[in-house]
Amino acid sequence: MNVPLKEAVATSKVLVVGSGGIGCEVLKNLALSGFKDIEIIDLDTIDVSNLNRQFLFRKEHVGKPKAVVARESILSYNPDINIKAYHDSITSQDYGLNFFKRFNIVLNALDNRAARNHVNRMCLAADVPLIESGTSGYSGQVELIKKGVTQCYECQPKPPQKTFPGCTIRNTPSEPVHCIVWAKHLFNQLFGEDDPDQDVSPDTEDPEAKIEGQEHTETESGNIKRASTRQWTQEIKYDPAQLFNKFFKNDIEYLLKMENLWKTRKPPVPLTWEQAASHEGDTAEEENNVKSQDMKVWSLSKCTKIFADTVGVLKEELAGKTFLVWDKDDKPAMDFVTACANIRAHIFTISTKSRFEIKSIAGNIIPAIATANAMIAGLVVLHAFRVLLQDYQKCPSIYLRQKSIHSKFVLAADKQIEQANPKCYVCSPQPFVNVFVNTQTMTVKEFETELLKKSLNMVAPDAILDGKGMVVISSEEGETEVNNDKKLNEIGIVDGSILKCDDFLQNYELTVAINHYEPQEKDDPLYKVVANPDELKAKESINGEKNGSEEKKEEESDEDDLMIVNELEDPQEGSSKRRKLNPPEDKDAEDDDLCVVES
Amino acid sequence: MSENQLSAVETELYDRQIRLWGIESQEKLRAANVLLINIRALGSEIAKNILLSGINSLTILDDGIVTEEEQEKNFLLSKDSKGKKIAEEVLLKAQALNPLVKIKADTDSPASKDPSYFKEFTIIVATCIKTDLLLKIDKVCRANNVKFIFGDVFGTFAYSVSDFQDHEYHEDQVQLAGKKRTHEGAEKTTVKVQGVVNYPELKKVLILPNTKQNADCIKKSKRRNELFFIMLSLIEFRNKKSRNPSLESKENDIKTLQDIKKDIFQLYQVDETKSKLDADIFEIVFGEAIPVCAVLGGVIAQEVIKAVSGKEVPINNVFLFDPITYDGKEETVGV
Ligand SMILES: [Zn+2]
C-alpha cells in the first residue's frame, strides 16, 4: 500500500450492508487492511446452514443477530477497530439520507433485489460511492456504482422472476416445479392463510379449455367450490383418504372433462387412495439413514403414507391457531409438500424428485460456498481501495465464472466502466416511466402496493395527479386512506394521466405515465412497467414484461449472498468478453433452473 | 451407518454446498487429508476455506515464529501470539472454524522433512517455498498419487500452479430436451460429462535460468501470458535471496528483479521490445495485499475441492491474477 492509500484507508468511514456470506469476508478484509471505522447492518439471525461459509459465526451463535456477532468476532482479533453493528433493516426510515452521507463508501453484501434497489437510490441521493456484489454457487460479480460516473443498479431492466400462470399450476403442469408450486398452494389451502390466488382446484376459466363459441356453464366443481375448501376439510376432520380422493381423483377426473386441454398433451390419470397406498413396484425396504430419506425419490406408497401422516400432524399444529405458515425447515410441512408434489407428478407423468431436490425449489435455496464469497469479497475491497483514491475509471465490473474447458477465465473484468442509461427511471435527470394497468379494475391501494412499492421499489411513496394537483396517495397516515378501495378511474387516473410520485426517504422523484391496458392472453401480465418508451413497440410484440403474473413473486432467498442469477446471464451489449465467456453450449444455462417460487 | 456416510449434523451444516456439488463430492471431501505448508496471510485464507468445506484432516506445517507484522495480517492469530510458533498459534481459531475437522500442527521445517512424510496426504498445498523444495515434493507426490498445488501473493500479483497428475473429473451439463411448448418451455436434463486433464510435472513448468537440464523442454508460445514470466522472476528472486522482495531494499530488489526478468526473457526467447508489461510492473510486488490473499485463497481452495472431489473442470495448470486489471486467467504451461 502506498502512503495516500494507507491514509485513505485509515481515515475512511465504511458501511457494510449485510453480514452474511460476502459480508463476513468483506469485514475481515477491511479489518486486516487497516480500516478503523466500520458500521454493519443486517436484519438476519444466524442459522446452522450459514456456518459452512459465514466464518465469523459458530454453532453457539445460532439464533443470534448476524451483525452483532460479526462485530464481536472481528474485535476478537483486532480490538483496535471502531465497529458499530445494527440488527435492523436498511430500508427502515431510520437510515435516511443523513445516515448515508456520513460514509465515504458503502459496500453491499445483500441477498435481495428490493434492498439492493433501495441502497442504490440512497447512495445516488447521498452521492456516496457504492460497491455492489453477489454470488450464486460458483459465480459472482462486483460492480461500482457512482453517481454521474457509472451506471446505477437499476439502469438495465432486470429480468423478472420466473412465474407460472395459474392455469399451468391448476390444470396443465408439465414440469416438477409446477407440481411443487401446486403442493405449496395445497398446504396453504388446507392449513395456511387464505389466498384466493393460490387455488388448487381445476381452473374452468382457462381460455385453452373453452370450446369456441360456447361459454362454459359448469358450476358443479372447480371455482365454485373454492371458497369452501377449508370448511369442507374441517367438516371431514382432515380425513386423509377423503382429502386424497378429492385432490388426486375427483379433481383430476374433472380436468379430464376439459377435453381441449388434452388434445396435445398426455392426459393425467386419476389416482384413488386405495390404489396409491398399495401401489405396485414399491418395495418395503426403508433405509433410515439421512441419505435415503432425503436423497432418494420416495415411492408412491411412501408418499401416500407421508401425506396421511403429515396431514395428521399439521392438523394438530393448526389447532388453536388461525393458520400455519409454510417453512421449508419445518419437517412435516416440507414432507407434506414433497409427498403431494410427487403424487401429482405421478398423475401427470412428470418426473418425481427427492425431498432434497424439492426443498431446493420450494424453499428457493441458492447454493452458496465459501470460496466464491472469498474471491468476490477480495475484489470488493480491491475496488474499495481505488474508489477511496477516486480512481473510478479503474473499477470496471468483474465477473467470477465457473471454470469451463471453453474458457481460460476464472475472473473476467470489463474493459471499462459502464455508462449510465440516459433513460434510466432511477438515475436519469428526470426519471420517467410508463405503466400499463387496468384503470377500471385496479384499486388505488393495489396501485400503491403492486406498482409503486413492489415494481418501482419505493418505500413510502406520495403521488400527485398532475394537472389537478390532487394528492392521491400519501405517505402520511390518514391523509388518503379514503382513496384506497377506489378504482383508479374513479379518482381520475385514466389513460394518459401523469402522476408525480415521490419517495421522501429515497429522495427520489418519478413521473409515471398511465396507460390503460387489459390483459388479452392468459399468460399476459396483470400490469407492466416500461422505462424506455422506445422499447414499447418491441416489448408489446413479444408479449410484454411479466411484471404481474398470477403467481406472486417473491425473490428473497434465505441466502445473504444471493445475487439474482439471471443477471449473470444477461447478455450485455458492447461487452464481447462476456459473450466469449459463454460458450455456445452455454452450460451455465442450468442457472435458469433456479427459478424463484414464493417461499 | 458406514464410516464415510454423512451424518445428519453434517448434511445440515454442509447443506448449501451439497446442493452445489452433490453428496458424493461431500463424501470425498470428508475422506480427504490435506497438508498445508506455511500458514501466513495467504495460507490462513486457504486454511479457512478448506476447513469450512469439510475435509477429514488438516496438517499445518510451518516452522515460523509470529512477528508483529504477521499477526496484523493473519486473522487466525491474536495479539498474544507474538513470538510463539505460528503453526501452534493458529490452532485455536482454525479449529473454531470447523470443529468436525481434525487439525494438527507441525513446527518442523518443511525442508527438513523426509520425502516419505509427504506420501500420507490426499493433497498438499504449499505457499512461500523455494523451487528445490517444490520439485522435491512434486516428485514424491507423483510417485504416490498425491495431488499438489502451490501459490503465492506478491503485492497485488498472485498465482497458483497445480500438479493433479492424470486427473479424471466429471461435471454436470444441463441440456434442453423434449417438447417446446410456447408457454411451458422445454424440460432440462442434466448430463454427467467426464474428462481427463493430464498435468505436466512441475520441473517442466518451473524452468528457470541455470536449470539447463530442462531448457530444451521450453516450448515457445507466442501467446504466452507475460505475467507467467513475472511469476518466474519472483520465484527466482526468492530462490536466490531466500526472501521475498522487501520495501526496505526496494530499489535494489527491483533492480535484481529486472535482471532476473531479462535472463528469463532470454531463456524463453521473448523479444523484450514487444513486451506489453508495464516497465514498472515490479513496483506493485511488495508485501501481500490482503484482499488479493482472499482472492487467491478462494481460487486455491476451490482447486483443492475440485482435485479431491473429481467434480468440475480444474485450472490447467497455472492461474495468474492480473495486478492491474484484476482478471484471473488460466495459463497452460509445460505440456
Ligand atoms: Zn440508472
Query: Which residues of A are documented as binding site for ATP?
Result: 18-23, 42, 50-53, 66, 89-90, 111-116
Averaged pLDDT of chain A:
85
Nearest-by-Cβ selection for B313 from A372, A405, A409: A405
CA distances from residue B194 to A98, A444, B311 in whole angstroms, order as listed = 56, 57, 9
Touching check for B12 and chain A: CB below 8 Å? Answer: yes
Buried b (16+ CB within 10 A) or exposed e, B156-185: bbbbbbbbbbebebbbebbeeeeeeeeebb
pLDDT band at B40, cuts 50/70/90? very high
pLDDT at B205 over 90: yes
Most confident of A275-279, B164-168, B278-282: B164-168
Q: Looking at residue A493, what is its pLDDT?
A: 94
Do A450 and A309 fall within a single domain?
no
Nearest CA distance, B227 vs chain A (angstrom):
14
Answer yes or no: are the C-beta atoms of B297 and B13 closer than 8 Å. no
Residue with cell 490452532: B91
**Min distance B213 CA to chain A CA atoms (Å):** 30
pLDDT band at B218 (very low <50, low <70, confident <90, very high): confident
How far is Cα A391 from Cα A383, in angstroms, rounded to an integer? 9
Greatest mean pLDDT range, A451-455, B11-15, B85-89, B221-225: B85-89
A82-91 pLDDT tens trace:
999 999 999 9
Q: Which amino acid is at A398?
A: I
Which pLDDT score, from 0 to 100, does residue A289 have?
56
Q: What is the C-alpha separation between B152 and B237, in angstroms, rounded? A: 13
Q: What ipTM does the predicted assembly reach? A: 0.96
pLDDT digits (tens, 9 = 90+) for A212-233: 544 444 444 444 454 568 888 9
**CA nearest neighbour of A364 among A48, A123, A105, A593:** A593
Q: Which of A28, A374, A409 has its CB closest to that of B329?
A: A409
Only one residue has cell 490426499, namely B122
Q: Examine the domain organization and report whether A465 and A318 are in the same domain.
A: no
Q: Give contacts of A377 with chain B, Cβ < 8 Å.
A: 291, 294
Nearest-by-Cβ selection for B313 from A25, A79, A403: A403
Find, among A548, A494, A542, A554, the residue nearest to A519 by Cα: A548
Q: How distant, in Å, are the alpha carbons of A454, A463, A480, A597, B5 from that of A494?
A: 21, 14, 18, 33, 64
H helices, E strands: number in chain A: 20, 14
Query: How much is the average pLDDT of A495-519?
Result: 94
Give φ, ψ of A130 to 5 degrees. -125, 135
Report the residue of chain A nearest B191, measured CA to CA. Answer: A587
Look at residue A380 and tell me if it is in a domain: no
What is the torsion angle, in degrees rounded to the nearest 10, for the CA atoms of residue A305, residue B8, residue A52 and residue B119?
A: -130
Is residue A334 domain-shared with residue A186, that is, in the same domain? Answer: yes
Query: How far is the C-alpha of A64 from the C-alpha of A47, rounded, in Å?
Result: 9
What's the pLDDT at A568?
Answer: 37
Quote the percentage of chain A above a pLDDT of 70. 83
Domain termination residue (choose one: A299, A326, A349) = A349
CB-CB neighbors (< 8 A) of A405 in chain B: 195, 313
Q: Please, are residues A536 and A436 in contact by the beta-carbon 8 Å criterion?
A: no
Q: Which residue has the higher pLDDT, A106 or B11?
A: A106
User: How many distinct structural domains can be found in chain A?
Assistant: 2
pLDDT at B279: 84
Q: How far is CA A50 from CA A360, A476, A561, B32, B49, in A?
A: 15, 39, 10, 22, 14
Which of A132-136, A198-202, A444-448 is least confident? A198-202
Mark whether A327 and A457 lie in a shared domain: no
* Structural domain boundaries, residue A453: 439-516
Residues 299-318, chain B: which have Cβ within 8 Å of A? 299, 301-302, 305, 312-315
Grid coordinates belonging to A187:
398446504
Question: pLDDT of A290-301, one tens digit each?
Answer: 566 788 899 999
Of chain A residues 42-71, which have a CB less than 8 A from chain B?
48-49, 51-53, 55, 58-59
Least CB–CB distance from A52: residue in B17, B305, B322? B17
Distance CA A467, CA B290 (A): 58
Mean pLDDT of chain B: 92
Q: What percent of chain B has pLDDT over 90?
A: 80
> Which is nearest to B178 in space by CA: B188, B192, B193?
B188
Joined grid coordinates for residue B249: 531494499
Provide the b/e sequence for A145-173 (b: ≥16 CB within 10 Å). Answer: bbbeebbbbbbbbeebbbbbbbbbbbbbb
Q: Cell 486433464 identifies what position?
A: B197
Alpha-carbon separation of residue B180 from A351, A504, A532, A551, B173 (angstroms): 17, 47, 31, 22, 19
Residues A330 and A450 in one domain: no
Going by pLDDT thresholds of 50, 70 and 90, the confidence category of residue A157 is confident
One DSSP character per residue, B147-195 reads EEEEEEEEBTEEEEEEE--EEEEEEEEEEEEEEEETTTEEEEEEEEEEE
CATH number reported for the structural domain that contains residue A217 in this entry: 1.10.10.520
Residue pair A166/A182 in contact (Cβ under 8 Å)? The answer is no
* A190 within a domain of the structure (yes/no): yes
Residue A480 lies in a domain: yes
**A283 assigned to some structural domain:** yes
pLDDT at A29 over 90: yes
C-alpha cell at B182: 410456447
B317 cis-preceded (ω within 30 degrees of 0): yes
Rounded Cα distance between A270 and A347, Å, is: 6
pLDDT score of A462 more than 50: yes
Which of B2, B6, B10, B49 has the most A C-beta neighbours within 10 Å, making it the best mutation to test the interface with A? B49
- The band of A211, judged by pLDDT with boundaries at 50, 70 and 90, is low
Rounded Cα gap, residues A398 and A408, in angstroms: 15
- Which stretch of A122-131, A431-440, B173-182 has the lowest confidence by average pLDDT? B173-182
Active site residue A167: yes
Q: Is the pLDDT of residue A186 over 60?
A: yes
CA distance A186 to A204: 18
pLDDT at B233: 97
Tell me the one-letter amino acid at A469.
G
Average pLDDT for A431-442: 94
Quick one: what percent of chain A has pLDDT higher than 90?
Answer: 68
Does the distance separating the beta carbons of A408 and B6 come in below 8 Å? no
Contacts of residue A478, Cβ cutoff 8 Å, sequence gap at least 6: none
Does pLDDT of A349 surpass 60? yes
pLDDT at A410 over 80: yes
Is residue A574 over pLDDT 50?
A: no
In this predicted model, what pLDDT tens digit does every residue of A368-399 receive, in sequence order?
A: 999 999 999 999 999 999 999 999 999 999 99
pLDDT of residue B274: 85
Cα-to-centroid distance, A108 and ligand 1 (Å):
17
A445 in a domain, yes or no?
yes
Which pTM value belongs to this model? 0.89
Cα of A409 to nearest chain B Cα, Å:
5
Q: Is the pLDDT of residue A544 over 50?
A: no
**Which architecture, in CATH terms, is B8-166+289-327?**
3-Layer(aba) Sandwich (3.40)
Q: Domain locations in chain B? A: 8-166+289-327, 167-195, 203-284
Lowest mean pLDDT among A454-468, A533-547, B93-107: A533-547
Residue A210 inside a domain? The answer is yes
Q: B230-261 pLDDT, tens per residue?
A: 999 999 999 999 999 999 999 999 999 999 99
Mean of pLDDT values over A142-160: 92
| Shared-domain flag, residues A243 and A344 | yes
> Residue B238 has what pLDDT?
97
> If pLDDT is split at 50, 70 and 90, which confidence band does B194 have?
very high
- Mark which of A317, A349, A381 sits at the end of a domain: A349
Taking only residues 18 to 47 of chain A, the set having a beta carbon closer than 8 angstroms to any beta carbon of chain B reads 25, 28-29, 31-33
Q: In this model, does residue B308 exceed pLDDT 60? A: yes
pLDDT recorded at residue A320: 87
The secondary structure of residue A530, as a DSSP letter, is E
Contact (Cβ atoms closer than 8 angstroms) between residue A244 and residue A233: no
Residue A82 lies in a domain: no
Looking at the complex, does the CB of residue A375 fall below 8 Å from at least one CB of chain B? yes
CB A539 within 8 A of CB A545: yes
Edge-to-edge strand order for the sheet containing A498-503? A470-473, A461-465, A498-503, A508-516, A432-437, A528-530
Q: Are residues A344 and A468 in the same domain?
A: no
Mean pLDDT of B183-203: 81
- pLDDT score, position A408: 95
Mean pLDDT computed over B34-51 = 98
Q: Are A260 and A207 in contact (CB under 8 A)?
A: no
pLDDT score at A286: 52
pLDDT at position A542 is 36
Closest CA to A30 of B297, B290, B69, B76: B290
Q: Residue A546: what pLDDT?
A: 35
pLDDT for res A445: 94
- From A516, A540, A571, give the residue that closes a domain: A516
B 61-120 → A contacts, CB under 8 A: 72-75, 77-79, 93, 96-97, 99
